[in-house]
Amino acid sequence: MLKVEHIGLAVKNFAEAIPLFEQLLSTPCYKTETVASEKVNTAFFQVGDTKIELLESTDPEGVIARFIEKKGEGMHHIAFEVADIEAEMTRLQALGFQLLNETPKKGADNKLVCFLHPKGTNGVLVELCQERRE
């Protein structure tokens, strides 16, 4: 793992959350993006070498909406940048970690992503991400 790439925070409403985090972090939101396959809107903030990603559900039945319903707004996941996502997935699976997707999928911010099941990571949803090379 190269570094913490971003920390994902589940929020109910971008109209309230984006201005709040712009004030809190003293930096503007530099990018918003919809990831239709995940039924989520994303908003990014750069804080030093790390990003903060806000996640807003686009569907009342989406994974973020269900997360907020169960646990409330707040920390959703931590993402680590990796040099070779497929090799890292193979390594972690061999060590017994459960992958939530069999192959890397397209994520926000030009990334390939894979999530690890939180049951095997002390309750923390872990995301692996690698810059897409197209």
State the DSSP string of 92-120: HHHTTPPBSSSS-EE-STTEEEEEE-GGG
**Predicted local confidence at residue 133, as pLDDT:** 84
Nearest alpha-carbon partner for 14 in 35, 32, 26: 32
CB-CB contact of 28 with 48 (8 Å): no
Phi, psi (5° rounding) for residue 63?
Answer: -60, -40
Residue 67 is predicted with a pLDDT of 97
In angstroms, the CA 131 to CA 134 distance is 9
CA angle 91, 117, 68 (to 5 degrees): 150
2 phi and psi angles, rounded to 5 deg: -90, -40
| pLDDT per residue as tens digits for the range 93-134 | 999 999 999 999 999 999 999 999 999 999 999 999 999 986
Phi-psi bin for 71: left (phi > 0), alpha (psi -120 to 50), beta? alpha
Residue pLDDT, tens place only, 39-73: 999 999 999 999 999 999 999 999 999 999 999 99
Tokens of 54: 């806000």
Q: What is the pTM of this model?
A: 0.93
